[in-house]
Amino acid sequence: MEANNNKRKALGKGLEQLFSNERIDFDNFEREVVKEAKEQKDGVSEILLSEIRSNPYQPRKHFDEEALLELASSIKAHGVVQPIIVKKSIKGYELVAGERRTRASRLAGLTKVPAIIKEYNDQEMMEIALIENIQRENLNPIEEANALASIIKSTGMTQEEIGKKFGKSRSYITNLLGLIKLPDVTKNAVANGHITMGHARVLSKISDIDKIVELTTKIISENLSVRDIESLASLENFPKNKQITRSHINPKYHIFENIMREKIGTKIKINNKKIEIPFDSEKDLERILEIINIQIEGE
Protein backbone atom coordinates (compact mmCIF):
# COMPACT_ATOMS: atom_id res chain seq x y z
CA MET A 1 0.00 0.00 0.00
CA GLU A 2 2.81 2.41 0.92
CA ALA A 3 4.62 1.73 -2.36
CA ASN A 4 1.40 2.41 -4.28
CA ASN A 5 0.86 5.69 -2.42
CA ASN A 6 4.47 6.75 -3.09
CA LYS A 7 3.99 5.96 -6.77
CA ARG A 8 0.88 8.13 -6.98
CA LYS A 9 2.58 10.99 -5.18
CA ALA A 10 5.43 10.70 -7.69
CA LEU A 11 2.89 11.09 -10.48
CA GLY A 12 1.86 14.46 -9.07
CA LYS A 13 -0.62 16.20 -6.80
CA GLY A 14 -3.29 16.02 -9.48
CA LEU A 15 -3.41 12.24 -9.57
CA GLU A 16 -3.03 11.99 -5.80
CA GLN A 17 -6.12 14.20 -5.37
CA LEU A 18 -8.06 12.34 -8.04
CA PHE A 19 -7.66 8.99 -6.34
CA SER A 20 -8.16 10.18 -2.76
CA ASN A 21 -11.20 9.11 -0.78
CA GLU A 22 -12.63 12.61 -0.90
CA ARG A 23 -15.17 13.83 -3.42
CA ILE A 24 -13.31 14.29 -6.68
CA ASP A 25 -12.94 17.43 -8.77
CA PHE A 26 -11.65 16.62 -12.24
CA ASP A 27 -11.18 20.26 -13.18
CA ASN A 28 -8.88 20.69 -10.18
CA PHE A 29 -6.99 17.55 -11.21
CA GLU A 30 -6.33 18.99 -14.68
CA ARG A 31 -5.30 22.36 -13.25
CA GLU A 32 -2.76 20.63 -10.98
CA VAL A 33 -1.35 18.57 -13.85
CA VAL A 34 -1.02 21.66 -16.08
CA LYS A 35 0.49 23.73 -13.26
CA GLU A 36 3.12 21.06 -12.53
CA ALA A 37 3.90 20.66 -16.24
CA LYS A 38 4.40 24.40 -16.77
CA GLU A 39 6.74 24.56 -13.79
CA GLN A 40 8.97 21.97 -15.47
CA LYS A 41 11.19 22.57 -18.47
CA ASP A 42 9.57 21.06 -21.57
CA GLY A 43 6.56 20.05 -19.46
CA VAL A 44 4.18 20.93 -22.29
CA SER A 45 4.98 19.62 -25.78
CA GLU A 46 3.52 20.10 -29.25
CA ILE A 47 2.66 16.68 -30.67
CA LEU A 48 1.18 15.59 -33.99
CA LEU A 49 -2.53 14.83 -34.00
CA SER A 50 -1.80 11.98 -36.40
CA GLU A 51 0.18 10.25 -33.64
CA ILE A 52 -2.65 10.37 -31.07
CA ARG A 53 -5.20 7.61 -30.63
CA SER A 54 -8.18 7.53 -28.33
CA ASN A 55 -7.98 6.21 -24.81
CA PRO A 56 -8.84 2.50 -25.17
CA TYR A 57 -10.86 2.83 -21.94
CA GLN A 58 -12.93 5.80 -23.16
CA PRO A 59 -16.47 5.07 -21.91
CA ARG A 60 -18.24 7.63 -24.10
CA LYS A 61 -19.49 6.19 -27.38
CA HIS A 62 -21.62 9.12 -28.56
CA PHE A 63 -20.21 12.60 -29.23
CA ASP A 64 -22.36 15.65 -29.91
CA GLU A 65 -21.28 16.73 -33.38
CA GLU A 66 -22.78 20.21 -33.04
CA ALA A 67 -20.91 20.80 -29.77
CA LEU A 68 -17.68 19.56 -31.38
CA LEU A 69 -18.12 22.01 -34.26
CA GLU A 70 -18.65 24.86 -31.78
CA LEU A 71 -15.48 23.85 -29.94
CA ALA A 72 -13.60 23.59 -33.27
CA SER A 73 -14.69 27.14 -34.10
CA SER A 74 -13.37 28.35 -30.75
CA ILE A 75 -10.08 26.52 -31.31
CA LYS A 76 -9.70 28.15 -34.73
CA ALA A 77 -10.07 31.54 -33.08
CA HIS A 78 -8.13 31.04 -29.85
CA GLY A 79 -6.16 27.80 -30.21
CA VAL A 80 -6.19 24.92 -27.72
CA VAL A 81 -6.15 26.76 -24.40
CA GLN A 82 -5.93 23.70 -22.13
CA PRO A 83 -3.28 21.08 -23.08
CA ILE A 84 -4.47 17.51 -23.47
CA ILE A 85 -2.92 14.74 -21.37
CA VAL A 86 -1.38 11.73 -23.13
CA LYS A 87 0.64 8.62 -22.43
CA LYS A 88 3.54 7.52 -24.66
CA SER A 89 2.76 4.25 -26.39
CA ILE A 90 4.62 1.94 -28.77
CA LYS A 91 3.22 3.87 -31.72
CA GLY A 92 2.70 7.52 -30.86
CA TYR A 93 0.48 8.46 -27.92
CA GLU A 94 -2.68 7.33 -26.17
CA LEU A 95 -5.11 9.95 -24.90
CA VAL A 96 -5.58 10.10 -21.15
CA ALA A 97 -7.78 13.21 -20.99
CA GLY A 98 -9.00 15.64 -23.66
CA GLU A 99 -10.93 13.53 -26.18
CA ARG A 100 -13.26 16.38 -27.21
CA ARG A 101 -10.39 18.86 -27.59
CA THR A 102 -8.53 16.37 -29.76
CA ARG A 103 -11.51 15.65 -32.01
CA ALA A 104 -12.35 19.36 -32.30
CA SER A 105 -8.72 20.19 -33.14
CA ARG A 106 -8.88 17.76 -36.06
CA LEU A 107 -12.12 19.41 -37.22
CA ALA A 108 -10.41 22.81 -36.92
CA GLY A 109 -7.69 21.65 -39.30
CA LEU A 110 -4.82 21.64 -36.80
CA THR A 111 -1.90 19.27 -37.22
CA LYS A 112 -0.43 19.67 -33.72
CA VAL A 113 -1.81 20.24 -30.22
CA PRO A 114 -0.20 21.13 -26.88
CA ALA A 115 0.09 18.05 -24.70
CA ILE A 116 1.39 16.93 -21.34
CA ILE A 117 3.02 13.51 -21.47
CA LYS A 118 2.52 11.41 -18.32
CA GLU A 119 3.19 7.81 -17.35
CA TYR A 120 -0.02 6.08 -16.20
CA ASN A 121 -0.74 2.37 -16.06
CA ASP A 122 -3.83 0.84 -17.71
CA GLN A 123 -6.01 0.94 -14.59
CA GLU A 124 -5.16 4.59 -13.92
CA MET A 125 -5.94 5.47 -17.54
CA MET A 126 -9.31 3.73 -17.29
CA GLU A 127 -10.24 5.43 -14.03
CA ILE A 128 -9.15 8.88 -15.23
CA ALA A 129 -11.22 8.52 -18.41
CA LEU A 130 -14.27 7.40 -16.45
CA ILE A 131 -13.89 10.12 -13.85
CA GLU A 132 -13.46 12.85 -16.49
CA ASN A 133 -16.67 11.88 -18.24
CA ILE A 134 -18.78 11.26 -15.16
CA GLN A 135 -17.58 14.42 -13.38
CA ARG A 136 -18.38 16.57 -16.39
CA GLU A 137 -21.68 14.81 -17.09
CA ASN A 138 -20.88 14.09 -20.72
CA LEU A 139 -22.15 10.51 -20.60
CA ASN A 140 -25.64 9.28 -21.36
CA PRO A 141 -27.19 7.14 -18.57
CA ILE A 142 -26.16 3.82 -20.14
CA GLU A 143 -22.55 4.91 -20.65
CA GLU A 144 -22.48 6.25 -17.09
CA ALA A 145 -23.91 2.99 -15.73
CA ASN A 146 -21.29 0.93 -17.59
CA ALA A 147 -18.55 3.31 -16.43
CA LEU A 148 -19.58 3.03 -12.79
CA ALA A 149 -19.82 -0.75 -13.06
CA SER A 150 -16.27 -0.81 -14.47
CA ILE A 151 -14.94 1.30 -11.59
CA ILE A 152 -16.67 -0.92 -9.02
CA LYS A 153 -15.26 -4.03 -10.70
CA SER A 154 -11.71 -2.67 -10.94
CA THR A 155 -11.49 -1.00 -7.54
CA GLY A 156 -13.83 -3.03 -5.35
CA MET A 157 -15.48 0.19 -4.14
CA THR A 158 -19.00 -0.09 -2.73
CA GLN A 159 -21.96 1.76 -4.19
CA GLU A 160 -21.96 4.06 -1.17
CA GLU A 161 -18.26 4.87 -1.65
CA ILE A 162 -18.82 5.52 -5.36
CA GLY A 163 -21.73 7.81 -4.51
CA LYS A 164 -19.66 9.87 -2.08
CA LYS A 165 -16.78 10.12 -4.54
CA PHE A 166 -18.98 11.44 -7.33
CA GLY A 167 -21.36 13.49 -5.17
CA LYS A 168 -24.32 11.22 -5.95
CA SER A 169 -26.76 9.55 -3.56
CA ARG A 170 -26.53 5.81 -3.05
CA SER A 171 -30.04 5.38 -4.50
CA TYR A 172 -28.94 7.27 -7.63
CA ILE A 173 -26.04 4.84 -8.09
CA THR A 174 -28.30 1.83 -7.43
CA ASN A 175 -30.91 3.03 -9.94
CA LEU A 176 -28.24 3.74 -12.54
CA LEU A 177 -26.61 0.33 -12.18
CA GLY A 178 -30.06 -1.22 -12.52
CA LEU A 179 -30.12 -0.06 -16.14
CA ILE A 180 -27.36 -2.51 -17.09
CA LYS A 181 -29.71 -5.50 -16.98
CA LEU A 182 -32.23 -3.88 -19.34
CA PRO A 183 -32.59 -5.47 -22.82
CA ASP A 184 -30.47 -3.94 -25.59
CA VAL A 185 -33.44 -2.35 -27.35
CA THR A 186 -34.27 -0.40 -24.19
CA LYS A 187 -30.66 0.53 -23.46
CA ASN A 188 -30.27 1.81 -27.03
CA ALA A 189 -33.45 3.87 -26.62
CA VAL A 190 -32.03 5.43 -23.44
CA ALA A 191 -28.62 6.05 -25.02
CA ASN A 192 -30.23 7.75 -28.04
CA GLY A 193 -32.52 9.88 -25.89
CA HIS A 194 -35.72 8.24 -27.12
CA ILE A 195 -36.74 7.41 -23.55
CA THR A 196 -35.63 9.10 -20.35
CA MET A 197 -33.78 7.89 -17.29
CA GLY A 198 -37.13 8.11 -15.45
CA HIS A 199 -38.74 5.72 -17.94
CA ALA A 200 -35.78 3.36 -17.76
CA ARG A 201 -35.82 3.29 -13.96
CA VAL A 202 -39.46 2.16 -13.97
CA LEU A 203 -38.73 -0.49 -16.61
CA SER A 204 -35.70 -1.78 -14.69
CA LYS A 205 -38.02 -2.87 -11.86
CA ILE A 206 -39.78 -5.33 -14.19
CA SER A 207 -38.24 -8.79 -14.59
CA ASP A 208 -40.18 -9.88 -17.70
CA ILE A 209 -37.90 -8.93 -20.63
CA ASP A 210 -40.69 -9.21 -23.20
CA LYS A 211 -42.84 -6.80 -21.20
CA ILE A 212 -39.95 -4.34 -20.93
CA VAL A 213 -39.49 -4.41 -24.71
CA GLU A 214 -43.25 -4.03 -25.21
CA LEU A 215 -43.39 -1.01 -22.90
CA THR A 216 -40.27 0.52 -24.49
CA THR A 217 -41.98 0.45 -27.89
CA LYS A 218 -45.15 1.83 -26.35
CA ILE A 219 -43.30 4.74 -24.70
CA ILE A 220 -41.74 5.76 -28.02
CA SER A 221 -44.74 5.20 -30.31
CA GLU A 222 -47.31 6.78 -27.99
CA ASN A 223 -45.01 9.41 -26.43
CA LEU A 224 -45.90 8.22 -22.92
CA SER A 225 -44.67 10.20 -19.92
CA VAL A 226 -42.99 8.69 -16.88
CA ARG A 227 -46.27 9.10 -15.01
CA ASP A 228 -48.09 7.23 -17.78
CA ILE A 229 -45.66 4.31 -17.72
CA GLU A 230 -45.58 4.20 -13.92
CA SER A 231 -49.37 3.98 -13.83
CA LEU A 232 -49.42 1.38 -16.60
CA ALA A 233 -46.74 -0.73 -14.93
CA SER A 234 -48.59 -0.66 -11.60
CA LEU A 235 -51.93 -1.53 -13.20
CA GLU A 236 -50.53 -4.49 -15.14
CA ASN A 237 -49.49 -7.68 -13.36
CA PHE A 238 -45.90 -7.49 -14.57
CA PRO A 239 -43.39 -9.57 -12.59
CA LYS A 240 -41.24 -7.19 -10.57
CA ASN A 241 -37.54 -7.67 -9.80
CA LYS A 242 -38.16 -6.83 -6.18
CA GLN A 243 -41.35 -8.18 -4.68
CA ILE A 244 -41.90 -5.43 -2.14
CA THR A 245 -45.59 -4.86 -1.47
CA ARG A 246 -47.16 -2.09 0.54
CA SER A 247 -50.83 -2.76 1.05
CA HIS A 248 -53.49 -0.10 0.86
CA ILE A 249 -51.20 2.42 -0.83
CA ASN A 250 -52.85 5.02 -3.04
CA PRO A 251 -51.54 4.31 -6.61
CA LYS A 252 -50.96 8.03 -7.07
CA TYR A 253 -48.36 7.88 -4.27
CA HIS A 254 -46.11 5.77 -6.50
CA ILE A 255 -46.22 8.52 -9.10
CA PHE A 256 -45.50 11.21 -6.51
CA GLU A 257 -42.63 9.15 -5.11
CA ASN A 258 -41.01 8.90 -8.53
CA ILE A 259 -41.42 12.61 -9.23
CA MET A 260 -39.74 13.43 -5.91
CA ARG A 261 -37.06 10.81 -6.51
CA GLU A 262 -36.24 12.41 -9.87
CA LYS A 263 -35.97 15.81 -8.20
CA ILE A 264 -34.02 14.83 -5.08
CA GLY A 265 -32.04 11.79 -6.29
CA THR A 266 -33.06 9.70 -3.26
CA LYS A 267 -35.66 6.96 -2.92
CA ILE A 268 -38.74 8.57 -1.35
CA LYS A 269 -41.50 6.70 0.50
CA ILE A 270 -45.01 8.08 0.99
CA ASN A 271 -47.11 6.09 3.45
CA ASN A 272 -49.41 6.61 6.42
CA LYS A 273 -49.64 10.35 5.75
CA LYS A 274 -45.84 10.64 5.98
CA ILE A 275 -43.07 11.42 3.50
CA GLU A 276 -39.78 9.63 4.24
CA ILE A 277 -36.58 11.04 2.71
CA PRO A 278 -33.50 8.93 3.64
CA PHE A 279 -29.96 10.34 3.50
CA ASP A 280 -26.52 8.73 3.66
CA SER A 281 -24.53 11.40 5.50
CA GLU A 282 -24.58 14.96 6.79
CA LYS A 283 -23.34 16.19 3.39
CA ASP A 284 -26.11 14.24 1.65
CA LEU A 285 -28.66 15.86 4.00
CA GLU A 286 -27.25 19.31 3.19
CA ARG A 287 -27.57 18.47 -0.52
CA ILE A 288 -31.24 17.50 -0.07
CA LEU A 289 -32.02 20.62 1.96
CA GLU A 290 -30.43 22.76 -0.74
CA ILE A 291 -32.53 21.07 -3.45
CA ILE A 292 -35.78 21.73 -1.57
CA ASN A 293 -34.62 25.28 -0.82
CA ILE A 294 -34.36 25.04 2.96
CA GLN A 295 -31.75 27.27 4.57
CA ILE A 296 -30.62 26.80 8.17
CA GLU A 297 -30.08 30.01 10.11
CA GLY A 298 -26.49 30.49 11.15
CA GLU A 299 -25.13 28.35 8.31
> Which residues have a catalytic role annotated?
99
121 vs 257: CA distance, rounded Å: 44
Q: Which amino acid is at 28?
A: N
DSSP codes, 40-61: STT-SEEEEGGGEE--TT----
Residue 231 near residue 201 (C-beta atoms within 8 A): no
Residue 51 near residue 43 (C-beta atoms within 8 A): no
258 vs 204: CA distance, rounded Å: 13
Residue 212 near residue 203 (C-beta atoms within 8 A): yes
Residue 293 near residue 280 (C-beta atoms within 8 A): no
Side by side, the strands of the sheet bearing 84-88 are 45-48, 112-118, 84-88, 93-97, 52-53
